[in-house]
Amino acid sequence: MKTFEEKWTAWLDGQLSDRELAQFEASLPDKAAAEAEKTEAKKLGAFLKRELGARALTNEEFFSHQLRERIARERAGESRKSGGRRIEVSTWWTIRRLLWTGTASLVVFLVLAIFVMRDKNPAEQSQYLTQILNARVDPVVSPNATISMFETKEDRVTVLWTEGLQSLPADYAAK
């Protein structure tokens, strides 16, 4: 089933069959206004084709056009010459730029890595763990409290397991 717009366009182009044409014209509320609009649309179409249509080039004109384009490109190339050498404009990163950028990035990374990692020794024990291990659980506050420590050197993991601890004394506070 065609929409009204499709039927309208087919009617303007004269592509409706006799039965469809009769049905469509019967469905129009004002046939005279529609006919006037059809005439105006045809005039507009003819005007646009006449004014906006591309002019076809003959063989000679096409050949001359190609020559003129080639001459213009060569003249543009001559204007870029400087002292007999041609100046090339790069639109993408050259290999030299990529090499220098990569090298500079690696140097900056290494300097920052050494600067950041110089103060930290991953093999040494944390000062917080040492403080907890040296502290004792007060048997009055937590009589059933136990502290167990599990340490793995390969993974650099230390687990501190506390059971029965009701509260932390004030000397356990973090720095």
The predicted pLDDT at position 92 comes to 73
Within 10 Å of residue 16's Cβ, how many Cβ atoms? 19
The DSSP call for residue 110 is H
pLDDT, one tens digit per residue, over 107-129 is 999 998 888 777 666 556 555 55
The pLDDT, as a whole number, for residue 101 is 92
pLDDT given at position 175: 44
The answer, yes or no, to whether residue 141 has pLDDT greater than 90, is no
DSSP state of 119: S
> Is the pLDDT higher at 57 or at 36?
36
Would you place residue 106 in the very low, low, confident or very high pLDDT band (cuts 50, 70, 90)? very high
- Give, rounded to a whole angstrom, the gap between the first and last alpha carbons of the chain: 80
Whole-Å CA distances, 35 to 40, 41, 120, 155: 9, 10, 89, 88
Digit-coded pLDDT (tens) for 2-16: 788 888 888 888 888
Please check the confidence at residue 46 and state whether its pLDDT lies above 80. yes
Least confident of 5-14, 31-40, 58-67, 157-166: 157-166
Residue ranges covered by each domain of the chain: 4-52, 92-120, 127-172
Q: Which is more confidently placed, 38 or 155?
A: 38
Phi/psi of residue 116, nearest 5 degrees? -75, -40
One-letter amino acid at 37 equals: E
SS3 state at 158? strand
| Residue 160 confidence (pLDDT) above 70 | no
Mean model confidence pLDDT for the chain: 76
Torsions phi, psi of 55, nearest 5? -80, 130
Euclidean distance between CA atoms 103 and 100, whole angstroms: 5
Coil, strand or helix at 146:
strand
